[in-house]
């Protein structure tokens, strides 16, 4: 008897400890998410600018010591063709790739495992003063007249302010997130501009005007809208919305930022409606009655008394709506066309941050610069939504201070 009691007490103790630990589970989860996202993401700035495993070499008489990633890209795109643009001599840049070596020397001269290749490469570079050689570091050229260009790591400035997102370009991939960030903001903000008046209108209708019967019809409809999976919205957008947008606006393609905004607006509606409606309903009855007693009409009461009173709740609805829109992945990916360029107009294809992650992570080798760049995108998204969710909380708290 005594023994059983002790065992039970121990068991109870363990259970209570377990409860305490699991109380912190969401905190631990967030900590873990933050940790993994940021360690993977921050590693990007320890990655070299030039494609992994490669380096750039020049003749040692060349006064140029390093190149910016944009410059390297421009050279290999044949936009820069002369060394003097880069502060060197006035002579044409001769690009040399590893494949070119096989044109010059037959394979038999390079040794069985290409062990003679570095020396041959050194020879080529020494002979040609204006060469820019892009070679694997495994076969780093050997010779007195060879100079490796100083390999810098990817800089935060290039990442956060870069205007080009070309993650698979050689020899230098470009990871500029500006077009993605702007694409995300454009699509989300336009979505909100569409959804906000609509959502607020429905919220006002629901809380102030609708009869019980109408409310009982509308509320479940809104809940159902919230329940539809985003991939189904995306599918609907793809087969219905995209052709409609293309036809009515007479565009070459229907997959535009505007299509994405339209779809996101529909998806953000339930959030906006239910949060705003809660806020409106929380207006004390006495305030409405006071206004009505003063001779105001119902509509005057709504926009002079109820809406100002519910302002913080409505702001929270706006903020949460943005949060939902910014993080939405599948639906946006399916209807915006995903061109990773700086957005110029609403009627062009854009690419958002979540869509970029979803589309490219599968092809990015784990641990590479591309992979890390995508994780850093995840960090940006994470920070965005954290700021949004915390500010929504602060906004909706503000009201409590005022009224109590």
Query: Which of the ranges 33-41, 90-98, 108-116, 185-193 carries the binding residues for other proteins, by CB under 8 A?
Result: 33-41
Which residue is listed with tokens 């040794």? 111
Residue in 63, 111, 156, 220 binding other proteins, rule: CB under 8 A = 220
363's CB contacts (< 8 A; 6+ apart) are none
Q: Measured from the CB atom, is 81 or 297 closer to other proteins? A: 297
Largest CA distance in the chain: 101
Return d(Cα 125, Cα 132) in angstroms, integer. 8
The answer to the question of residue 365 lying near other proteins (CB under 8 A) is: no
The answer to the question of residue 361 lying near other proteins (CB under 8 A) is: yes
The answer to the question of residue 207 lying near other proteins (CB under 8 A) is: no
Q: Measured from the CB atom, is 66 or 385 closer to other proteins? A: 385
The answer to the question of residue 323 lying near other proteins (CB under 8 A) is: yes
Residue in 115, 297, 308, 345 binding other proteins, rule: CB under 8 A = 297
SS3 label, residue 229: coil
Helix and strand totals (H; E) in the chain: 18, 6
Return d(Cα 404, Cα 402) in angstroms, integer. 6
Measured from the Cβ of residue 245, the count of other Cβ atoms closer than 10 Å reads: 23
SS3 label, residue 165: strand
Residue in 201, 243, 284, 308 binding other proteins, rule: CB under 8 A = 201
**Backbone dihedral region of 338: left (phi > 0), alpha (psi from -120 to 50 degrees) or beta?**
left
The answer to the question of residue 244 lying near other proteins (CB under 8 A) is: no
CB of 201 to other proteins, least distance (A): 4
Residue in 40, 51, 158, 164 binding other proteins, rule: CB under 8 A = 40
The answer to the question of residue 232 lying near other proteins (CB under 8 A) is: yes
The answer to the question of residue 111 lying near other proteins (CB under 8 A) is: no
The answer to the question of residue 214 lying near other proteins (CB under 8 A) is: yes
Site mask for other proteins (CB under 8 A), range 341-360, x = bound:
-------------x--xx--
Residue 306 is classified by DSSP as I
Return d(Cα 97, Cα 82) in angstroms, integer. 18
């Amino acid at each position: 008897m005594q023994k059983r009691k002790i065992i039970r007490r121990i068991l109870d103790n363990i259970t209570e400890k377990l409860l305490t630990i699991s109380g912190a589970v969401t905190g631990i989860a967030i900590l873990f998410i933050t940790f993994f996202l940021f360690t993977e993401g921050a590693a990007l700035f320890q990655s070299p600018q030039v494609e992994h495993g490669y380096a750039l070499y020049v003749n040692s008489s060349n006064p140029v010591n390093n190149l910016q990633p944009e410059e390297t890209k421009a050279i290999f795109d044949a936009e820069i063709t002369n060394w003097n643009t880069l502060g060197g001599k006035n002579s044409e840049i001769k690009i040399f790739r590893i494949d070119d070596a096989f044109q010059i020397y037959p394979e038999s001269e390079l040794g069985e495992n290409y062990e003679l290749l570095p020396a041959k490469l050194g020879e080529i570079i020494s002979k040609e003063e204006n060469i820019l050689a892009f070679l694997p570091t495994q076969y780093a050229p050997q010779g007195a007249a060879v100079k490796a260009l100083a390999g810098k790591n990817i800089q935060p400035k290039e990442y956060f302010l870069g205007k080009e997102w070309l993650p698979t370009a050689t020899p230098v991939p470009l990871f500029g997130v500006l077009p993605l960030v702007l694409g995300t903001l454009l699509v989300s903000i336009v979505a909100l501009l569409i959804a906000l008046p609509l959502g607020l209108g429905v919220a006002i209708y629901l809380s102030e005007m609708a009869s019980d019967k109408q409310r009982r019809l509308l509320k479940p409809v809104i809940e159902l809208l919230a329940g539809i999976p985003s991939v189904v919205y995306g599918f609907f957008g793809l087969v219905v919305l995209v052709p409609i947008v293309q036809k009515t606006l007479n565009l070459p393609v229907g997959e535009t930022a505007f299509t994405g905004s339209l779809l996101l607006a529909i998806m953000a509606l339930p959030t906006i409606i239910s949060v705003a409606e809660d806020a409106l309903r929380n207006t004390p009855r006495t305030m409405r009655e006071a206004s009505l007693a003063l001779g105001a009409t119902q509509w005057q009461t709504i926009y002079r008394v109820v809406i100002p009173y519910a302002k913080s709740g409505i702001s929270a609805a706006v903020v949460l709506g943005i949060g939902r829109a910014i993080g939405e992945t599948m639906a946006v990916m399916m209807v915006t066309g995903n061109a990773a360029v700086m957005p110029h107009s609403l009627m062009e294809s854009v690419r958002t941050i979540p869509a970029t992650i979803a589309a490219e992570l599968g092809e990015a080798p784990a641990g590479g610069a591309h992979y890390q760049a995508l994780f850093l995108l995840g960090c940006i998204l994470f920070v965005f939504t954290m700021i949004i969710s915390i500010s929504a909380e602060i906004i909706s708290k503000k009201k409590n201070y005022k009224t109590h």
